[in-house]
Amino acid sequence: MYKLTVLLIVAIFGLSHADTSLGSCPAVDPLPGFQMDRLLGYWYAIQKTDTDSPCLTYNLTRNEQRPGNYKITEIEQHHTLWSSALYHEHKVTGDLTVPDRKVPAKMALDLPLDIGTTTFIVFMTDYDNYVGIFTCKKLPLIHSWSAEILSRAPTIDMDFVDKVRTRLSSYNIDPFSLQIIDQSKCAPPGHQGSLIETASDIKQKATNVVKNVGNKISELASDGTTKLQDVSRSVIEKGNATLQELSKPVIDNAARLQEASESAIQKGSAAVQDLYDY
């Protein structure tokens, strides 16, 4: 019953490619003097805990929206059932943040649709050939953990692999829990040929389309407002011109009436003066 409960918890939290153990996460030392910017770029998974992925790569990039933080994209490739020339590619992108700037090799990993935060530790690397990564998430009663050996190239010198496995043993982590990933039959990142995109990729593209449509609507609305203002201004100007044209005869008639009145007054005054003189 207890084993069933543990399996149920793991299934609910959506954990994959990981092992579970009782208690807290093991103590793994973050690499001193770690420089994340030197680790950015593509990495090939050479060995990983409890995985069935035939092709697995990672891409580490800067988080442009949050300077000082990073993103990690896990890319899995699978041949389709009907053709070995076609690949089914699945991508998951998570956020990597650095809670303590004094310990940059110990980060917090947040994945979409995943409950809670995973501790992400870089414990070994030379930046150019290999990197050893340990991740762990604390759950009720148990913890879920994973260890990985990554390489800049699809193959790696076994001396680097042995160094990482020996270090894992010093942390009481069984290195034989890591499974070998054969990258020789995998397409390089960005060269998958005829690619069948997963729902996550299509969702991202659909989001971009909706965003573009929204921007276009805003532009049209802005243009419409400008055009409406231009039309209103034109109507007002034409209305003023028409009013002036209509008012001109009245003003002219009023002027002539005033002139006639002044002339009549002058003539009347002259006539009165004449009678008076007479």
**pLDDT tens figures, 63-111:** 999 988 999 999 988 655 444 445 567 889 999 999 999 999 999 999 9
Minimum mean pLDDT range among 67-76, 153-162, 173-182, 261-270: 261-270
Q: Give the count of alpha carbons within 13 A of 204, CB side only.
A: 9
73 and 203 in a single domain? The answer is no
Average pLDDT, the chain: 75
Tell me which of 197, 224, 257 is where a domain ends: 197
pLDDT tens digits for range 27-47: 999 999 999 999 999 999 999
How far apart (Å, rounded) are the C-alpha atoms in residues 261 and 273? 18
What value does the CA radius of gyration of the chain take, rounded to a whole number of Å? 39
88 and 212 in a single domain? The answer is no
Band (pLDDT 50/70/90 cuts) for residue 196 is very low
Tell me which of 151, 172, 197 is where a domain ends: 197
pLDDT tens digits for range 48-58: 998 877 789 99
3-class DSSP state for residue 30? Answer: coil
The burial of 67, by beta-carbon neighbours within 10 Å (0-12 exposed, 13-18 middle, 19 or more buried), is given as exposed
Domains contained in the chain, number: 2
Q: Which residues have CB under 8 Å from 27's CB, separation 6+?
A: 171
19 and 147 in a single domain? The answer is yes
Nearest in space to 94 (alpha carbons), one of 135, 139, 132: 135
- Residue 147: other Cβ atoms inside 10 A: 29
Is residue 167 pLDDT above 90, yes or no?
Answer: yes
171 and 207 in a single domain? The answer is no
The secondary structure of the chain in percent helix, strand, coil, rounded to multiples of 5, reads 40, 30, 30
| Region for residue 180 given its phi and psi (left: phi exceeds 0; alpha: psi -120 to 50; beta: otherwise) | beta
Strand partners, 106: 121
Structure tokens given for 54: 């035939």
186 and 117 in a single domain? The answer is yes
Domain ranges, residue 171:
2-197
| More confident of the two residues 8 and 226 | 226
213 and 268 in a single domain? The answer is yes
Instruction: Determine what percent of the chain is predicted with pLDDT higher than 90.
Output: 41
pLDDT tens digits for range 207-264: 555 456 556 655 655 565 565 566 557 655 665 565 566 556 645 655 565 665 566 5
Give the ranges where the chain is alpha helix by DSSP (H). Answer: 2-12, 158-170, 199-277
- Residue 95: other Cβ atoms inside 10 A: 18
3-class DSSP state for residue 95? Answer: strand
At 151, which CATH number? 2.40.128.20
| More confident of the two residues 201 and 97 | 97
Place of tokens 């980060």: 107
- Residue 229: other Cβ atoms inside 10 A: 10
